[in-house]
Chain A
Amino acid sequence: MLTEKDVLLRVSGVTRMRLQTWVERGWLSPAQTDTGHAFSDLDIARCALIRQMRDDLEFDDETVPVLLALLDQVYGLRRELRAVLRAVEAQPDDISSQILEVLKSGRDEIENGD
């Protein structure tokens, strides 16, 4: 776990004030310790992403939290989807192939406008 100082060293373009603002807004949620915030690699990568969004991609303060919320949902969904697929795969062959059949035919119906 790294301190605020470490983050400022590792992520160029982030000042102390910006970092504190982003934490206040809930864009970043580092863990709280007695001596201040503790940042994980995940937090730091998210911090760098936020900087890119603001500076390079020029998304404004209203847009960034919307994007982050959507991103979090996507990653959450991907995780669930992987879990579901693993559950399907873990079934005996006849069951898993049945499930895949349903999936396929459902898709066909939609594509054929039924």
Chain B
Amino acid sequence: MSKKLYDVLGVSEDASHKDIRSAYRKLAKKLHPDLNPGNKNAEEEFKEVSSAFAILGDEEKRKLYDVGKIDEAGAEAPQHQYYRQYADTDAHHHYNSTAGFDDLGDLGDLFSEAFARRGGTQYRPGGSSMPFPGADVRYHMTISFLEAVTGTKKRVTMPDGGTLDVSIPAGIKDGQTLRLNGKGEPGSHGAPPGDAHVSIEVQPHKLFERDGDNIVIKLPIGLHEAVLGRKVEVPTISGSVSMTVPKGASSGQVLRLRGLGIKTNKSKGDQLVHLKIIMPDTIDDDLNTFMSSWAETHDYNPRNRREFKP
């Protein structure tokens, strides 16, 4: 993209401030209307050069002009054209959706010819031998929580009966889209094929939840296990592991199992175990008796603690 103002002053885009000033002075001397009484266009040409210098000669403005934030007139350029300028074209692009009329192929032969998935319009001005890139295709895939965590290979059946092997990376998140270059519709006359976009939906798991790269699980423990401590079996995404519930554990306490979370190229998460004390199904006489006498000499009130006070 050539920057017009630099052409007006006859300097290169990486010219120094000094060079720009010197170029301007030379041109100004040459073009000044009063020094060129016979030149009708002198005023206009001089104005052009002065306006260019007003921007390029000012270090701040020159910076803005170079990144496109202001235009030749010094006005704030819109930072982009509206999206429709790019999207509303006959040219193929990768956000083109055929979802609005995919089903029209069901209405009959003529429709299925015209609207079935294909690589671009069939009528093109300029002749049908123009190479035309293939259309993108969109797929949606649902995988289980564990498949998302460990990664997996899945096979998609395409409308034309062919299959597409999709490698799903470990640690993929619900809603992420995989883009497979060149796996879309074939192009015509040697043009490249379009891409396949596979959006991934991850089903929730009965026990495990995801929090970033960590796995979260709620672990029920018995009253006696909380009081006395105990070694218990805990499910993880890589199988069952042994974990020690510490003596005196409380509900809400979180124990961290390092490295048992989601493994990606960059990091290894942990499994966070949230303890939840579950009372026995019935409070029998033994427990009742014991607790009553114990409470007489050991009453404590956790609501008296600072963290609970408003």
Contact = CB atoms under 8 A, between A and B. Distances in A.
A29 B94 contact: yes
B82 interface: yes
A25 B175 contact: yes
Main secondary structure of the interface of B (DSSP, over half): loop
Main secondary structure of the interface of A (DSSP, over half): helix
Given A26-B175, A75-B88, A79-B90, A12 B79 contact: yes
B309 interface: no
A98 to B, nearest CB: 15
B181 A31 contact: yes
B193 to A, nearest CB: 14
Interface string B178-191: 01010000000000
B308 interface: no
Contacts of B292: none
A80 B222 CA distance: 65
B15 interface: no
A73 B97 contact: yes
Interface residues of B, number: 38
A74 B100 contact: yes
Given A24-B173, A73-B100, A76-B96, 11 more contacts: A10-B80, A29-B179, A29-B195, A42-B86, A42-B94, A45-B81, A46-B87, A72-B87, A75-B88, A77-B100, A87-B122
13 contacts: A12-B79, A29-B197, A32-B179, A45-B82, A46-B86, A49-B83, A69-B97, A75-B87, A75-B97, A76-B101, A80-B115, A80-B121, A82-B90
Interface of A: 9-12, 24-26, 29, 31-32, 41-42, 44-46, 48-49, 69, 71-80, 82-84, 86-87, 90
